[in-house]
């Protein structure tokens, strides 16, 4: 019988899917945007089945859960800018539990959050508890694993920690810097999630999971600095920094927005330490220390082996509906003496540490302006220097369309008075020539949107004109170099 996963497009779900397949489980991924899984190297595995569904469609959800022996529920909201996110999560959990009961699913497995019980629990951790109760409300046995900070390449907590330590030799922090925490390596989290499937006695149980060490956040920062090869950081705790102020500071220094950082910052006031070790006897595995976890994460980043990251999760609205309003465009075409696959690879290298082929200082300036306006800026970078997939973040863009050797479309997530797309279309002429069309599209919102377009239009020749020529030069380099021998690898 297959195992269902809701949340396979997220940070934990993507890694869990791989591990389940590797251990011989049949996996059924239920995804709102199945296209987000197409770029994974396990997407075409014989043991994998992907079905499109949403948690709000009860009939579709029930139908797609039928025949599954267990279902992993790995869904939760992190956007504190939406006041109703906790109630929304609770309602989704209730709907999922009802559908699981109707479908005859034997058990639900949920990854929640560690933390003391009672009124002092942060809103985010309280929401996790409410989801636990909602999932168990219909009588389907629920296995709950509660984790504190998850240390792994690309996790939100790890990225906050890394950027703070890298960029700030002196840190003025809230009092939570002395709060005890029991972090756990992402590989140990996956080990427990997979392990409970083979232990039926875990059904209906709640288990705390953590790594070897119990440390305060100050000590974790010290270890991070040492593993990064940096000098000791000065950490000065003060009583006046609220979670809201902390979230804005995190927004300025790290890739996470203040809306995501705020619930994380609120939770840092709560001690998050395992209160029992039952799970270590039921599912024995080698638990990593904080230092080992940080070292493994940094090693994966250095080797470009980041499998999933925090920015992958969330809805993908797709291309904007351009009907019903004025759309400005800057469209450029060029015929290149390079094959389509080489041009496509050159196009897919934009963003992150690779830069934008021209006027990088203008992109950096735009990123800082966006950051000050509350947007993501350029700090999200990209997961891998060469490979991208549907739904991934590229700096302040999101991949909303991707067709091998033919098309890449990016939707702007920067703060804008309108909607913007950046599209690249490739048309082969013959085996060694193709035409690349590059289009920047913008639908203004109000008078300020019109002003914005006319203000930046004079810079388009510098930014987009040089970008096109830069892509051409890179495509020629790729076509003439040893990379042409690896076309099969690129297509995978």
Delimiting residues of CATH 3.30.530.20 domain(s) in the chain: 328-491
**For the chain, first and last CA: distance in Å?**
28
Name the pLDDT band for 337 (thresholds 50, 70, 90): very high
Q: How does strand 142-147 pair with strand 107-113?
A: parallel
Beta bridge partners of 3: 27, 70
- Collapsed DSSP state (helix, strand, coil) of residue 123: helix
Who's near 3: CB < 8 A, 6+ residues apart? 20, 25, 26, 27, 28, 68, 69, 70, 71, 72, 197
Q: What is the value of pTM for the model shown?
A: 0.78
Order of all β-strands in the sheet with 397-403: 328-336, 433-444, 418-430, 407-412, 397-403, 393-394
pLDDT score of 17: 95
Average pLDDT of the chain is 86
C-alpha pair distances (Å), 422 with each of 190, 222, 254, 404: 37, 41, 25, 17
Backbone dihedral region of 446: left (phi > 0), alpha (psi from -120 to 50 degrees) or beta? Answer: left
Class of domain 3-303: alpha beta
Q: How does strand 433-444 pair with strand 418-430?
A: antiparallel
pLDDT score of 139: 92
For 213-265, write each residue's pLDDT tens digit: 999 988 998 999 999 998 888 888 777 666 677 777 777 777 777 677 776 77
Cα 137 to Cα 116: distance, rounded to the nearest angstrom = 22
pLDDT score of 492: 37
Who's near 115: CB < 8 A, 6+ residues apart? 121, 122, 125, 146, 148, 267, 270, 271, 272
pLDDT higher than threshold 50 for residue 53 = yes
Question: Does residue 144 or residue 128 have the better pLDDT?
Answer: 144
Find the helix packing angle between 290-302 and 217-227, rounded to 10°: 40
For 405-414, write each residue's pLDDT tens digit: 999 999 998 8
Question: Does residue 85 or residue 135 have the better pLDDT?
Answer: 135
* H/E element, 246: helix 243-253
Find the helix packing angle between 156-167 and 217-227, rounded to 10°: 70
For the record, the structure tokens of 299 come out as: 């090693």
Neighbours of 347 (CB within 10 A): 22
Q: Please say whether the structural domain 328-491 has been given the CATH code 3.30.530.20.
A: yes
pLDDT higher than threshold 60 for residue 484 = no
Range scoring the smallest mean pLDDT among 25-29, 83-87, 127-131, 167-171 = 83-87
For 263-301, write each residue's pLDDT tens digit: 677 767 788 899 999 999 999 999 999 999 999 999 988
pLDDT higher than threshold 70 for residue 79 = no
Delimiting residues of CATH 3.40.50.720 domain(s) in the chain: 3-303
Backbone dihedral region of 104: left (phi > 0), alpha (psi from -120 to 50 degrees) or beta? Answer: left
C-alpha pair distances (Å), 317 with each of 273, 399, 419: 38, 11, 12
Name the pLDDT band for 488 (thresholds 50, 70, 90): very low
pLDDT score of 85: 79
423-453: burial string, b at 16+ Cβ within 10 Å, e else: bbbbeeeeeeebebebbbbbbbeeeebbebb
């Amino acid at each position: 019988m297959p195992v269902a996963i809701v949340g396979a497009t997220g940070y934990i779900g993507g890694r869990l899917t791989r591990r389940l397949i590797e251990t011989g489980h049949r996996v059924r991924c239920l995804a709102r945007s199945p296209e987000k899984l197409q770029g994974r190297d396990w997407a075409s595995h014989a043991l994998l089945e992907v079905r499109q569904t949403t948690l709000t469609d009860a009939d579709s959800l029930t139908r797609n859960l039928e025949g599954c022996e267990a279902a992993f529920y790995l869904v939760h909201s992190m956007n504190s800018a939406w006041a109703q996110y906790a109630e929304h999560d609770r309602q989704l959990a209730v709907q999922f539990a009802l559908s699981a009961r109707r479908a005859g699913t034997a058990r639900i497995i949920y990854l929640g959050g560690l933390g003391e019980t009672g009124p002092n629990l942060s809103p985010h951790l309280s929401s996790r508890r409410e989801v636990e109760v909602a999932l168990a409300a219909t009588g389907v046995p629920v296995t709950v694993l509660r984790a504190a900070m998850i240390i792994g390449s690309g996790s939100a907590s790890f990225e906050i920690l890394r950027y703070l330590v890298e960029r700030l030799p002196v840190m003025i922090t809230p009092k939570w810097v002395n709060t005890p925490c029991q972090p756990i390596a992402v590989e140990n989290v996956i080990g427990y999630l997979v392990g409970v499937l083979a232990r039926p006695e875990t059904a209906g149980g709640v288990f705390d999971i953590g790594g070897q060490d119990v440390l305060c956040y100050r000590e974790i920062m010290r270890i991070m600095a040492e593993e990064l090869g940096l000098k000791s950081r000065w950490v000065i705790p003060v009583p006046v920094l609220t979670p809201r102020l902390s979230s804005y500071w995190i927004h300025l220094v790290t890739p996470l927005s203040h809306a995501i950082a705020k619930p994380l910052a609120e939770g840092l006031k709560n001690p998050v330490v395992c209160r029992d070790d039952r799970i270590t006897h039921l599912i024995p595995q080698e638990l990593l220390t904080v230092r080992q976890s940080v070292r493994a994460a940094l090693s994966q980043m250095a080797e470009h082996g980041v499998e999933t990251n925090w920015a992958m999760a969330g809805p993908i609205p797709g291309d904007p509906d351009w009907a019903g309003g004025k759309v400005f465009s800057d469209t450029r075409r060029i015929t290149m003496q390079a094959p389509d696959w080489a041009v496509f690879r050159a196009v897919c290298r934009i963003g992150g540490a690779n830069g934008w082929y021209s006027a990088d200082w203008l992109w950096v300036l735009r990123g800082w302006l966006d950051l000050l306006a509350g947007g993501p800026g350029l700090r999200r970078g990209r997961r891998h220097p060469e490979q991208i997939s549907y739904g991934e973040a590229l700096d302040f863009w999101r991949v909303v369309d991707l067709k091998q050797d033919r098309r890449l479309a990016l939707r702007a997530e920067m703060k804008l008075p309108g909607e913007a797309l950046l599209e690249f279309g490739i048309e082969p002429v013959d085996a060694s020539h193709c035409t690349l069309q590059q289009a920047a599209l913008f639908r203004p919102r109000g008078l300020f949107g019109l002003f914005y377009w006319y203000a930046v239009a004079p810079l388009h020749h510098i930014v987009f004109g040089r970008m096109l020529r830069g892509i051409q030069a890179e495509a020629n380099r790729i076509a003439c170099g040893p990379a042409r021998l690896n076309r099969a690898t690129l297509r995978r």
